[in-house]
Amino acid sequence: MPEHAFSCRCGALQGTLTQTSPGEGCHLICYCRDCRAFAHHMGVADQLYPGGGSPLYQVLPNRIAITRGADQIACARLSPKGLHRWYAACCDTPLANTVGTSRMPLAGMWAPLFRDPEALGPVVTHGFTKAALPGGPKKDRGIGRMFGRLLRRSVSAYLSGAARVSPFFDAAGAPVVRPEVLSAEARRAAFATEPGKQD
Ligand SMILES: [Zn+2]
Ligand SMILES: [Zn+2]
């Protein structure tokens, strides 16, 4: 079974992603404003793709094991309705984004976390390209295929009970740490480089 080691920038938090088959996850670049703003907030905007794309790897959360530094897990939300954006508090490295419940068994892991990002395979999906900055792709690709696959996997995970297993949620489905919504000031700073309307 393919195993992918990952760690935060300082190394205090480490873990492995174990997959049952190669290519089980979806290597995706997300061009949405929120992912980009969060990368700015974390100070990792230098790792964005041209056009402001966030490198992500969509996986089933029950495949993620945090082997060291789980006490560093923290969670931020750009707004009260925003995704849960998990990160390592020791050095502000993004870990993954999820919705606010473990019932939707999906985590978009920050691909640069992985020791060998190449082992994740080629980027197969471009999402939210309408929000790409100049220099980015103009058309989404692979989205339908991705959601078809993710949905099938999520449904089977849900039926098997695996859905509830996640490093980010406890057995009752509550977040392992309290998510903090960014202050208005931090939000403004995170979106400061976005063209057009500011949030
Ligand atoms: Zn760290
Ligand atoms: Zn996004």
Among the bound ligands, name the one nearest to the CA of residue 113.
Answer: 1
Residue 75 CA to ligand 2 center (angstroms) comes to 16
Residue 196: inside a domain, yes or no?
A: no
Which domain does 126 fall in, by range? 3-144+156-190
Closest to 143 measured CA to CA, from 58, 35, 21, 60: 58
Q: pLDDT, tens digit, for every residue of 168-184?
A: 999 888 999 999 999 99
Does the pLDDT at position 199 exceed 70?
A: no
> How many structural domains compose the chain?
1
Structure tokens at 5: 């080691």
CA distances from 199 to 10, 75, 147, 189, 196 (A): 31, 20, 28, 10, 10
Residue 80: inside a domain, yes or no?
A: yes
Does the pLDDT at position 119 exceed 70?
A: yes
Instruction: Give the pLDDT band of residue 162 (cuts 50, 70, 90).
Output: low
Residue 51: inside a domain, yes or no?
A: yes
CATH number at residue 49: 2.170.150.70
What is the C-alpha to C-alpha distance for residues 105 and 166, in angstroms, rounded to an integer?
A: 8
Query: What is the rounded average pLDDT of the residues 60-79?
Result: 96
Residue 108 CA to ligand 2 center (angstroms) comes to 9
Residue 19 CA to ligand 2 center (angstroms) comes to 23
Residue 27: inside a domain, yes or no?
A: yes
What is the C-alpha to C-alpha distance for residues 172 and 176, in angstroms, rounded to an integer?
A: 10
The reported pLDDT for the residue numbered 188 is 96
Residue 88 CA to ligand 1 center (angstroms) comes to 6
Q: pLDDT, tens digit, for every residue of 14-57?
A: 999 998 776 678 899 999 999 999 999 999 999 999 999 999 99
The reported pLDDT for the residue numbered 22 is 66
Does the pLDDT at position 197 exceed 60?
A: no
98 versus 106: the higher-pLDDT residue is 98
Residue 149: inside a domain, yes or no?
A: no
Instruction: Give the pLDDT band of residue 67 (cuts 50, 70, 90).
Output: very high
Residue 186 burial (CB < 10 Å; 0-12/13-18/19+)? middle
Does the pLDDT at position 101 exceed 90?
A: no
Residue 45: inside a domain, yes or no?
A: yes
Residue 195: inside a domain, yes or no?
A: no
Question: Do the beta carbons of residue 30 and residue 53 sit within 8 Å?
Answer: yes
Among the bound ligands, name the one nearest to the CA of residue 38.
Answer: 2
Residue 23 CA to ligand 2 center (angstroms) comes to 21
> What are the residues whose beta carbons fall under 8 Å from the beta carbon of 143, sequence distance 6 or more?
125, 126, 127
Q: What count of residues does the chain have? A: 199
> What are the residues whose beta carbons fall under 8 Å from the beta carbon of 80, sequence distance 6 or more?
181
Residue 199: inside a domain, yes or no?
A: no
Q: What percent of the chain has pLDDT over 70?
A: 91
